[in-house]
Amino acid sequence: MQYIMSQEEMDAVERDRKTLRRLPSTDDLQKFCTMVADTTPVQDGSAKGRVWGCILTVKREHYCDACPAEKVCPYHDKHWSR
């Protein structure tokens, strides 16, 4: 199958291709999210001032509820409080 595209459509495809090349891999994104969780201090509550800690590196009961990387973290087995 062949497609006929305008120059504007072809330019948009090229921009999208360049953007996709700049996106991090899942492994790189996980390393970054883990680093953020392991270095960002808790902002409120009884743990204020302590480092949050990622469930992948901290060996204690822990949840992802208020993790600073929660929305972009690619880890599939997140622990949520009930």
Q: Which of 71, 72, 53 is nearest to 63 (CA)?
A: 53
Q: Using the 8-state DSSP alphabet, how is residue 61 labeled?
A: S
pLDDT digits (tens, 9 = 90+) for 33-77: 999 999 988 877 776 778 888 988 887 767 788 788 888 899 988
Convert the pLDDT of each residue in 8-17 to its tens digit: 998 898 888 8
For residue 70, the number of C-alpha atoms closer than 13 Å in the C-beta half-sphere is: 9
Q: What is the pLDDT of residues 14-28, one digit of tens each?
A: 888 877 677 778 899
CA distance linking residue 80 with residue 43, whole number of Å = 19
**Domain parsing of the chain, residue ranges:** 24-82
Query: What type of residue is 53?
Result: G
Tally the C-alpha atoms within 13 A of residue 11's C-alpha that lie toward its C-beta. Answer: 3
Is the per-residue pLDDT at 82 higher than 70? no
Q: What is the pTM of this model?
A: 0.64
